Chains A and B, each alone.
Chain A
């Protein structure tokens, strides 16, 4: 199979998966099998593309020419390919977990949930593989529209309000801010292509660079830069399978990757002011804003008693850390940000699947009900604890590497205070996740833990364990990943 064909198949497979899931919604076993196999195919294709890109291939496919000199094109470059592989691999585990969840909680309209989950994957993949700003914009809007039904899935007033906010923020920001930024970029550079070194480098004055940076960072609301984050913290009302997709596997990571692509391939050195050799003013202001809000998000998470809400704020803080890495405008910062996205995606998927398993078999969503549950659900909570440790950034878990690189990059670019804020945020994250994981094992086991007599099925537990294993696996991959990602800032 040629890399081009693999890329096309990777973008098309989730669409086919969605159609098949809807067409074969009965019997449930067949539906689940199609969903899991479709996700497995996506993971395999993403893995193949990682191999191809590591061998020097750079496949590119063009689907349409909607505007003069502007193509609807997708290409596999290291950053997008890595993120797609991680999201694809974890998506396979998530598909298994979803099959277990819809049975355990008797989920309403499971085929619709799985179909939109697959469509969201397709759109997220399209974002990650977008070859230019136009394709990114198209894929990003498709992502917002595909994920909207996931947030609204429960169908009650609360879900509808969250879904409306989700759609309004993502689409609204993209139209009001991202679209003008895209057109401005086109006007300045004459192209919308993502290019190593940045299409704007040497073609933009300082004022325009500052304005454009703000438009891009706020326009890509999926990256959750403040104040465009409300969609993330409001989306916790979605059912667990949808929550994993939105917060850990599609929307948030795609937003992060999209923003990193803009930093690396649109701005490049244009993020550095020539006179001072430091980040441009808007980048410094955004760095400060993201750093302070990152700490504030971790504090707010501490005050939340619903585990889903607490995790939403916690993941927001992690997303901001990735933005900080990109804004540092240095190779080390970009690598830290990419690693942060990958590590957070791994850990967040594991964490949310563990929490989902807990809710399905015990009916508990409140953090006050968690003590002792680790004694009756040891495997699930082992995964939970590993994921918490990774998000906190505890060595030797994978999250620690990204935090370490982030602190190093901050210090090396002269933004020492950003390094300090990353450290403070890690401590605050420990405060809202550490005791939770510890008490799950240290507390007394509840006598009425399970609402289901047979406990958690293998479909609910195995993905959590494998997700935790992936989180641990990243530990040894930092160097190969740095090598794989190096073309992002160094042309081959």
Chain B
């Protein structure tokens, strides 16, 4: 038994992917929606446990992995894969309550799509070479678009269509970028660029920019987030959007891992400049749009764009401190967005007015939304504050004082839109729009509270998480083994 366990642990990346992929297949073949959902939950929980064990062992130096020829686990993947798996498990758990809204025949497909999304993103994180990344990313992206498309509102189809179209264009760019990078560095491996003798730096830079740009689009970074408005604004359940949000998180994580390999002379400056431009634009545009948003889910999408901007700036630093800051910010973003979106799912309507008085009728949803908003603001003792602090610290350490401005703009904008959310939750009377969706909220309660507690607990006692992020950054940059 012990030998089998050791064998499974040694092949943890493959086991995690097999659990997710196998879970998706089993869920698809199960005719009954509820059974399919239960099986998917078991698969997700098992994959999350395997990923967490693997991440912990890698980041604490507790064991070696046999990743085979197709997979490779760097520090960023070791840190983020468990997070994505756990958040996806929570999303599937919460999504169980809205499953009944779908036609019976469609329910297994919806469940399987959730697992397909998870498989795609975790696969992209574990992929050893660039082609593997392109394939995994687009598999996950198409599954996410399909999830958005099955929403009852026709407007969601518009969002899904935009996702598919932009994803198609993105795939072309990514393949072209991968080809350029392989040509310039002589290697298709992601880690190859770090120590490659680059024959054509301009071509390599262009290749990486072409690789990164579609990832930015998928992450919902402004101004490449044209799909995000309709997809977030029209989908019929915030829980589906939690999946979309986790996808964005995974994309940026993959991007961070790719960027961490671009430290070779002649390559680093160009990629960093591209990331900085994208980051600052995303902070400014996302913050402005979030402040002006009247649809609460769009608000979260735009706020996510601003958060993504901060992560990009941190990644652009290309230092251990910067990458660690990016990982902390990613964690804060993922947990905060999940708490917000899953909390908002307690209401049927998507306008801001739907939140009026929700804090009294659904106190747990109110608490989750409040904590999510506070974390986005960067309020002390939340994960968001740690992310901002780490970004500013890393920026100042590298002489990038202006990075402080990016963090502050994001936080200031969050004070406005977050304050508006909190005011509506607690200081307004309920209107007709604010229908409390008991069904949607029934199973969402536990996951949303887990996310909210994570946002606060990691903010109050973050030492272990900061250490893991630091170690992950060092591993990703090849500064330790």
User: In the complex, what's the smallest C-beta–C-beta distance from A149 to chain B, in angstroms?
Assistant: 7
Stretch at the interface among B166-174, B297-305, B376-384: B376-384
Are B427 and A183 in contact, CB atoms less than 8 angstroms apart? no
- A168 contacts the other chain (CB 8 A): yes
User: In the complex, what's the smallest C-beta–C-beta distance from B346 to chain A, in angstroms?
Assistant: 21
User: In the complex, what's the smallest C-beta–C-beta distance from A167 to chain B, in angstroms?
Assistant: 5
- A216 contacts the other chain (CB 8 A): no
Q: How far is the CA of A179 from the CA of B415 in the complex (A)?
A: 14
Q: How far is the CA of A141 from the CA of B411 in the complex (A)?
A: 13
Q: How far is the CA of A195 from the CA of B7 in the complex (A)?
A: 56
- A175 contacts the other chain (CB 8 A): yes
Are B461 and A65 in contact, CB atoms less than 8 angstroms apart? yes
Are B460 and A66 in contact, CB atoms less than 8 angstroms apart? yes
User: Which residues of B lie under 8 Å from residue A64 when comparing CB positions?
Assistant: 381, 460-461
Q: How far is the CA of A172 from the CA of B386 in the complex (A)?
A: 18
Are A164 and B419 in contact, CB atoms less than 8 angstroms apart? yes
Q: A66-B386, A187-B396 are in contact. Are A175 and B461 (CB under 8 A)?
A: no
Interface membership of chain A positions 107-140, coded 1 if the CB is closer than 8 angstroms to chain B and 0 otherwise: 0000000000000000000000000001001100
Interface of B is mostly: helix
- B389 contacts the other chain (CB 8 A): yes
User: In the complex, what's the smallest C-beta–C-beta distance from B239 to chain A, in angstroms?
Assistant: 28
Q: How far is the CA of A67 from the CA of B378 in the complex (A)?
A: 14
Are B427 and A176 in contact, CB atoms less than 8 angstroms apart? no
Partner of A180, one of B386, B408, B420, B462: B408
User: Which residues of A lie under 8 Å from residue B459 when comparing CB positions?
Assistant: 66
Are A163 and B423 in contact, CB atoms less than 8 angstroms apart? yes
Are A183 and B393 in contact, CB atoms less than 8 angstroms apart? yes
- B362 contacts the other chain (CB 8 A): no
Interface of A is mostly: helix
User: Which residues of B lie under 8 Å from residue A141 when comparing CB positions?
Assistant: 379-380
User: In the complex, what's the smallest C-beta–C-beta distance from B397 to chain A, in angstroms?
Assistant: 8
- A456 contacts the other chain (CB 8 A): no
Interface membership of chain B positions 444-481, coded 1 if the CB is closer than 8 angstroms to chain A and 0 otherwise: 00000000000000011111001000000000000000
A67 closest partner in B (C-beta): B389
Partner of B408, one of A134, A155, A179: A179
A167 closest partner in B (C-beta): B419
Are A175 and B427 in contact, CB atoms less than 8 angstroms apart? no
Are A183 and B412 in contact, CB atoms less than 8 angstroms apart? no
- A152 contacts the other chain (CB 8 A): yes
Q: How far is the CA of A149 from the CA of B422 in the complex (A)?
A: 10
Q: A160-B423, A164-B423, A183-B404 are in contact. Are A172 and B412 (CB under 8 A)?
A: yes
Are B427 and A138 in contact, CB atoms less than 8 angstroms apart? no
User: Which residues of B lie under 8 Å from residue A167 when comparing CB positions?
Assistant: 415, 419
User: Which residues of A lie under 8 Å from residue B386 when comparing CB positions?
Assistant: 66-67
- A266 contacts the other chain (CB 8 A): no
Q: A65-B463, A66-B462, A175-B411 are in contact. Are A183 and B423 (CB under 8 A)?
A: no
- B296 contacts the other chain (CB 8 A): no
User: Which residues of A lie under 8 Å from residue B462 when comparing CB positions?
Assistant: 66-67
- A171 contacts the other chain (CB 8 A): yes
Are B412 and A176 in contact, CB atoms less than 8 angstroms apart? yes
Are B423 and A152 in contact, CB atoms less than 8 angstroms apart? yes
Interface membership of chain B positions 408-430, coded 1 if the CB is closer than 8 angstroms to chain A and 0 otherwise: 10011001100110010011000
Contacts across chains A and B counted by CB atoms under 8 Å: 73
User: In the complex, what's the smallest C-beta–C-beta distance from B154 to chain A, in angstroms?
Assistant: 36
- B242 contacts the other chain (CB 8 A): no
Interface size on B, residues (CB 8 A): 29
Q: A152-B423, A168-B419, A172-B415 are in contact. Are A68 and B466 (CB under 8 A)?
A: yes
- A218 contacts the other chain (CB 8 A): no
- A343 contacts the other chain (CB 8 A): no
- A320 contacts the other chain (CB 8 A): no
A177 closest partner in B (C-beta): B408
- B358 contacts the other chain (CB 8 A): no
- B392 contacts the other chain (CB 8 A): yes
Interface size on A, residues (CB 8 A): 28
Q: A180-B404, A187-B396 are in contact. Are A155 and B427 (CB under 8 A)?
A: yes
Partner of A149, one of B408, B427, B460, B463: B427
User: Which residues of A lie under 8 Å from residue B419 when comparing CB positions?
Assistant: 164, 167-168, 171
Are B408 and A176 in contact, CB atoms less than 8 angstroms apart? yes
Chain B residues numbered 346-402 whose CB sits less than 8 Å from any CB in chain A = 377-381, 385-386, 388-389, 392-393, 396
Chain B residues numbered 91-131 whose CB sits less than 8 Å from any CB in chain A = none
Partner of A160, one of B393, B427, B460: B427
Interface hub of A138, A183, A187 (most chain B Cβ within 10 A): A183
User: Which residues of B lie under 8 Å from residue A149 when comparing CB positions?
Assistant: 426-427
User: Which residues of B lie under 8 Å from residue A164 when comparing CB positions?
Assistant: 419-420, 423
- A382 contacts the other chain (CB 8 A): no
User: In the complex, what's the smallest C-beta–C-beta distance from A63 to chain B, in angstroms?
Assistant: 8
B380 closest partner in A (C-beta): A138
- A421 contacts the other chain (CB 8 A): no
- A72 contacts the other chain (CB 8 A): yes
Partner of A152, one of B393, B415, B427, B460: B427
Are A163 and B427 in contact, CB atoms less than 8 angstroms apart? yes
User: In the complex, what's the smallest C-beta–C-beta distance from A138 to chain B, in angstroms?
Assistant: 4
Interface membership of chain A positions 67-84, coded 1 if the CB is closer than 8 angstroms to chain B and 0 otherwise: 110001000000000000
Q: A149-B426, A149-B427 are in contact. Are A66 and B412 (CB under 8 A)?
A: no
Q: How far is the CA of A175 from the CA of B404 in the complex (A)?
A: 11
User: Which residues of B lie under 8 Å from residue A163 when comparing CB positions?
Assistant: 423, 427
Chain A residues numbered 54-70 whose CB sits less than 8 Å from any CB in chain B = 64-68
User: Which residues of B lie under 8 Å from residue A134 when comparing CB positions?
Assistant: 380
Q: How far is the CA of A72 from the CA of B381 in the complex (A)?
A: 9
User: In the complex, what's the smallest C-beta–C-beta distance from B422 to chain A, in angstroms?
Assistant: 8
Q: A141-B379, A163-B427, A167-B415 are in contact. Are A183 and B461 (CB under 8 A)?
A: no
B462 closest partner in A (C-beta): A66
User: In the complex, what's the smallest C-beta–C-beta distance from A472 to chain B, in angstroms?
Assistant: 40
Q: How far is the CA of A206 from the CA of B379 in the complex (A)?
A: 31
User: In the complex, what's the smallest C-beta–C-beta distance from B208 to chain A, in angstroms?
Assistant: 31
Are B381 and A138 in contact, CB atoms less than 8 angstroms apart? yes
Interface membership of chain B positions 286-318, coded 1 if the CB is closer than 8 angstroms to chain A and 0 otherwise: 000000000000000000000000000000000
User: Which residues of A lie under 8 Å from residue B460 when comparing CB positions?
Assistant: 64, 66, 72
User: In the complex, what's the smallest C-beta–C-beta distance from B389 to chain A, in angstroms?
Assistant: 6
B461 closest partner in A (C-beta): A64
Interface membership of chain A positions 176-206, coded 1 if the CB is closer than 8 angstroms to chain B and 0 otherwise: 1001100110010000000000000000000
Q: How far is the CA of A471 from the CA of B350 in the complex (A)?
A: 54
Q: How far is the CA of A67 from the CA of B386 in the complex (A)?
A: 8
Q: How far is the CA of A314 from the CA of B411 in the complex (A)?
A: 33
Are B415 and A171 in contact, CB atoms less than 8 angstroms apart? yes
User: Which residues of B lie under 8 Å from residue A137 when comparing CB positions?
Assistant: 380
User: Which residues of B lie under 8 Å from residue A138 when comparing CB positions?
Assistant: 380-381
Are A183 and B396 in contact, CB atoms less than 8 angstroms apart? yes
User: Which residues of B lie under 8 Å from residue A179 when comparing CB positions?
Assistant: 388, 392, 408, 411
Q: How far is the CA of A65 from the CA of B378 in the complex (A)?
A: 17
Q: How far is the CA of A134 from the CA of B380 in the complex (A)?
A: 9
User: Which residues of A lie under 8 Å from residue B423 when comparing CB positions?
Assistant: 152, 160, 163-164
Are B427 and A66 in contact, CB atoms less than 8 angstroms apart? no
User: In the complex, what's the smallest C-beta–C-beta distance from A111 to chain B, in angstroms?
Assistant: 13
Are A175 and B380 in contact, CB atoms less than 8 angstroms apart? no
Partner of B377, one of A171, A184, A187: A171
User: In the complex, what's the smallest C-beta–C-beta distance from A148 to chain B, in angstroms?
Assistant: 8
Question: What are 8 A-B interface contacts by the 8 Å CB criterion?
Answer: A65-B463, A167-B419, A168-B419, A172-B415, A175-B408, A175-B412, A176-B412, A179-B388
Q: Add 17 more A-B contacts to A66-B462, A155-B427, A167-B419 (CB < 8 A).
A: A65-B463, A66-B381, A66-B459, A67-B386, A137-B380, A138-B381, A141-B379, A141-B380, A152-B427, A163-B423, A168-B415, A171-B419, A176-B412, A179-B392, A179-B411, A183-B392, A187-B396
A contacts, CB < 8 Å to B: 64-68, 72, 134, 137-138, 141, 145, 149, 152, 155, 160, 163-164, 167-168, 171-172, 175-176, 179-180, 183-184, 187
Q: 8 closest pairs, A vs B, by CB?
A: A138-B380, A175-B411, A171-B415, A64-B460, A152-B427, A167-B419, A183-B392, A176-B408
